[in-house]
Amino acid sequence: MPFARPWLAWTMALILLGVACAIILPRINAYFVYVADLALIRAIAAIGLVVLSGVAGQLSLCTAALLAVGAYSTGMLMTHLSVGFLPAAICGALVTCVIGTALAAPALRLTGLHLPIVTLAFGVIAVQLIGKGGKLTGGMGGLFLPPATILGWPLDTDLRRFIVIIGPFLLATAASVNFLRLKPGRALFALRDREVIAQALGVNTGGYKILAFAYSAFLAGLAGALYAAFKGYVSVDDFTLWDSIYFFVMIAIGGMTSVAGAIIGAVFVTAVPELLSGLAEASQLIFGALLLLIVAFLPGGLASIWRSWLRPRRAPPALDAVAPE
């Protein structure tokens, strides 16, 4: 059954986490709420990258560019057409999804290192085009958004912004956990590990690649829309190649094949540098050393600690489970 006990456990845990955070975080310093909001936004995009690169094996280096598409699409609709935040965010995520689906075309023909090079080139070109968009995108100076509201409810407090961010985060997490447990998720695992055999068994590998790109792009666009409303201002400086690499670092140290790994990695990459910021130049040295230690001693990521302690080791899904009926 798709909705088995692990699904219920995940759902209940996420709901309890959301309620606890909504109660506790507003009572803490506003700066910590800001860091928590940023970590949740990044986690949404990282979950999509786990599905695409970790599970499906389609390496992508354009996550930041897809966030930029979602952020600027949302911002332009709100600024130039006076569209409300909610419909603008949905449109921004859908526009990003369409672009991500188109980006899947090279994945049907390229293998190895060629695909990440193509996605890297797309990321660079997309950000440059946005930066040269003139008054439409604000150019290199960035785009200021009007105050975001949902059904007349202004997002003018830390608690309201946090609620608006954690809602999509919980939905994306729950949907992705269940998605990876269903037939499409099992097919993506087979696509990564044994594509030729999966194709011989009748699995539509091309279709599942497109699905992975579309799903990942939608989550990236959603994260970009939330980021735009969260800051009230977007600039191409927020979506550089280094930001795409940071997203890949998130899933690498958290866990390449699990939703929990994406969340843990996003929190780690967001919170640890902030905690070390008081150490000046030594902070980057310590952060880099931590990354090296995790990669060296935890090749499965930080999420592997949770899996080894709390869950029995399970065999990977059989290929016959993803073959067409």
User: 3-state SS of 2-60?
Assistant: CCCHHHHHHHHHHHHHHHHHHHHHHHCCHHHHHHHHHHHHHHHHHHHHHHHHHHCCCCC
Q: Answer whether residue 191 is part of any domain.
A: yes
Start-to-end C-alpha separation, the chain: 17
- Quote the domain boundaries for residue 45: 41-240
Angle in degrees, CA 191, 11, 247, rounded to 5: 50
**Which pLDDT value is given to residue 40?**
93
Give the mean pLDDT of the chain: 83
**Who has greater pLDDT, 103 or 32?**
103
Of 101, 122, 119, whose CA–CA distance to 60 is shortest? 119
Kindly state whether residue 62 falls inside one of the protein's structural domains.
Answer: yes
- 2: pLDDT confidence band, cut at 50, 70 and 90? very low
- Establish if 246 belongs to a structural domain: no
What does the pLDDT read at residue 191?
78
The residue ranking higher by pLDDT, 314 or 176, is 176
pLDDT digits (tens, 9 = 90+) for 181-200: 888 888 888 877 777 777 77
Report the C-alpha gap between 84 and 164 in whole angstroms.
14
Rounded-to-integer distance, Cα 248 and Cα 59, Å: 9
Residue 320 has pLDDT above 60, yes or no: no
Q: Is residue 131 part of a domain?
A: yes
Amino acid present at 125: I
Specify the pTM.
0.86
Domain membership of residue 298 (yes or no) is: no
Q: What percent of the chain has pLDDT over 90?
A: 38
Question: 90-140, pLDDT tens digit by residue?
Answer: 999 999 999 999 988 887 777 778 888 989 999 999 999 999 988 899 888
Two tokens, residue 318 = 């059989």
- Residue 102 forms part of a structural domain: yes
- The domain total for the chain is 1
Whether 206 is in a domain gets the answer: yes
DSSP per residue, 66-91: HHHHHHHHHHHHHHHS---HHHHHHH
Report whether pLDDT(312) > 60.
no
Least confident of 169-183, 206-220, 301-315: 301-315
Q: Is residue 135 part of a domain?
A: yes
Give counts: helices (H), strands (E), the chain. 13, 4
Higher-scoring residue by pLDDT: 275, 38: 38
What the block records as the tokens of 263 is 């969340």
